[in-house]
Amino acid sequence: MRLSRTQIIAGLTLLLTLAIAFLTGIVNSYIPLLWIQSHIWLVLVLLALCIVLELFFTIKGAGSNTAISQMKEDQFNDFVKTVSDAESKAEADPEFEHTPFIAGKLLEWQSIDGRLIDILNIQYNLGRYAVGTWQRRTNNEALARLVLRLTRAIMPALTRSSSKESLKELFQLAAPTYVIAAGLGEWTDATRTAYALSSSFYDARESIKAKYWVAQMEKSLKRITSHGTSDGLYSQFLDMKGIIANDFDGEKAIARNHLNDALIYAHRAKNPLAIKRITTHLATLEKKERNFAKAIELYKQALAITSPLNDP
């Protein structure tokens, strides 16, 4: 059985307490009584601190498990229905652009997604855009998979805007979802979630955070063995590396190499939208290099792909 982080900390704290008590016994046996009496306050403070820490971490760990263990079957089934509803609507309209009265529903789904993440006790820091850890256990896996499904369904809608508030809302749901996906070994979901975060931070011109999530994307990609899946994801990964190298680092040659490689993977995946996007990025790179004839040629290729797809 795999122990949780809080259980490990509680166990180590208990061992430390026993060690201090043992050492105190040795001190009582071999050091003069007057010296012990003058320093006993230090031993007592250390023991009290260890006991407080042990109680804190034990209660914290128990609290996070209690919310799951006390969940009633009806409540869990309500969560399942909500997730299924979101998935069915997302299947018909992935970005919810043509679904009437969707705004209220989307807010409800975001709220429930956040509630599930809170029950799983995944901590995050919005100030530093940092997220904590999560460990898979028998009693939390079903809820974790609901988070994965719900975030996957609403992610396209969450990434439509690059405003500061939208980015905050995306991070609150997507970053814990990435941690869950990695904990469950669902590397395709982890990679797609990391791509959504890196792309959104890129659009917001947050270079450090965009690069961080590209690095997480690369880690997840290495765990995917199916070429049919990885080709499309590699095209997204290399596309992001290319535009980041070009726009944030000014590395034109590196950017061109990444984008050309991304185009190869997009063709392998037979994804016309990806081919169009990467071709447009290559055209923009050529324009910045003042290779206008090449840029126009690439823009025309992108337009030729776009027209049959009715993509504005």
Q: What is the pLDDT of residues 6-17, one digit of tens each?
A: 555 556 666 666
Measured between its terminal Cα atoms, the distance across the chain in Å is 53
The total domain count for the chain is 2
Whether 299 is covered by a domain: the verdict is: no
Whether 189 is covered by a domain: the verdict is: no
Label residue 62 by pLDDT band (50, 70, 90).
Answer: very low
Q: Pick 182 or 310 by higher pLDDT.
A: 182
Taking residues 99-107, report their average pLDDT. 89
Least confident range of 20-34, 72-86, 196-210:
20-34
Residue 255 clears pLDDT 90, i.e. is over it: yes
Label residue 44 by pLDDT band (50, 70, 90).
Answer: low
- Total Cβ atoms within 10 A of residue 288: 14
Judge if 44 and 14 occupy the same domain: yes
Label residue 129 by pLDDT band (50, 70, 90).
Answer: confident
Taking residues 199-216, report their average pLDDT. 94
Whether 5 is covered by a domain: the verdict is: yes
> Is beta strand 124-125 parallel, antiparallel or unpaired with respect to 130-131?
antiparallel
Among 139, 162, 184, give the residue marking a domain's end: 184
Judge if 95 and 13 occupy the same domain: no
This prediction has a pTM of 0.76
Taking residues 124-128, report their average pLDDT. 74
Whether 272 is covered by a domain: the verdict is: no
Whether 277 is covered by a domain: the verdict is: no
Among 37, 70, 103, give the residue marking a domain's end: 70
Q: What is the pLDDT of residues 187-198, one digit of tens each?
A: 999 999 999 999
Mean per-residue pLDDT over the chain, rounded: 83
User: Are 175 and 197 within 8 A, CB to CB?
Assistant: yes
Judge if 54 and 109 occupy the same domain: no
- Short-list 247, 260, 257, CA closest to 288: 247
Where in the sequence is the domain holding 41, given as residue range(s)?
Answer: 1-70
Whether 240 is covered by a domain: the verdict is: no
Catalogue the long-range contacts made by 46-50 (C-beta closer than 8 Å, 24 or more residues apart).
46/20, 47/17, 47/20, 47/21, 50/13, 50/16, 50/17, 50/20
pLDDT reported for residue 32: 55
Taking residues 36-60, report their average pLDDT. 60
Among 135, 167, 184, give the residue marking a domain's end: 184
Q: Compute CA distances 162 → 99, 201, 242, 248, 289, whole Å.
A: 21, 8, 20, 17, 27
Q: What is the pLDDT of residues 69-78, one digit of tens each?
A: 677 888 889 9
Judge if 51 and 138 occupy the same domain: no
Taking residues 175-194, report their average pLDDT. 95
Taking residues 248-259, report their average pLDDT. 95
Taking residues 64-68, report their average pLDDT. 59
Judge if 110 and 151 occupy the same domain: yes
